[in-house]
């Protein structure tokens, strides 16, 4: 398993501003992912954070809106830019072992409210 922490745990932001969410893992991992989850809904993959290269974004998510950094094998950030109320959600990072992408470990999540 892996121990994952996220900062902040929650925030209330004004529209038009940006928020950077940090994800720290207690061990080196190859694959890190960022998800979004509305309360009571499923998890939607935003992007895969690749160490040493640009993130791979899913359909409907773009780098200008959700820039991601992955400076090393234990840390990643997700920025939600130019926020609108529609960005209000829970943002989760997860990690997977190289051989076990089907087995992911999730951080506690960041609950974002945009007013």
Partner 1 sequence: GQSLEQPSEVTAVEGAIVQINCTYQTSGFYGLSWYQQHDGGAPTFLSYNALDGLEETGRFSSFLSRSDSYGYLLLQELQMKDSASYFCAVRASSASKIIFGSGTRLSIRP
Q: Write out the residues near partner 1 by the rule CB under 8 A.
A: 31, 33, 40-45, 48, 58, 92, 94, 100-109
For partner 1, the closer of residues 29 and 107 by Cβ is: 107
State the nearest-atom distance from the C-beta of 66 to partner 1, in Å: 16
For partner 1, the closer of residues 16 and 108 by Cβ is: 108
State the nearest-atom distance from the C-beta of 63 to partner 1, in Å: 17
For partner 1, the closer of residues 58 and 67 by Cβ is: 58
State the nearest-atom distance from the C-beta of 107 to partner 1, in Å: 6
- DSSP string computed for the chain: ---EEEE-SEEEE-TT--EEEEEEESS--SEEEEEEE-TTS-EEEEEEE-TTS--EEPTT--TTTS-EEEEETTEEEEEE-S--GGG-EEEEEEEEETTEEEEEEE---EEEEE-
């Amino acid at each position: 398993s892996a121990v994952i922490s996220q900062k902040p745990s929650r925030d209330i932001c004004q529209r038009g501003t940006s928020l950077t969410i940090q994800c720290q893992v207690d061990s080196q991992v190859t694959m890190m992912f960022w998800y979004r989850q509305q309360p009571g809904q499923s998890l939607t993959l935003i992007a895969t954070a690749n160490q040493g290269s640009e993130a791979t974004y899913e359909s409907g998510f773009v780098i200008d809106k959700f820039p991601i950094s992955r400076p090393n094998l234990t840390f990643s950030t997700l920025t939600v830019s130019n926020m609108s109320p529609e960005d209000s959600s829970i943002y989760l990072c997860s990690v997977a072992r190289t051989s076990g992408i089907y087995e992911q470990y999730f951080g506690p999540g960041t609950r974002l409210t945009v007013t």
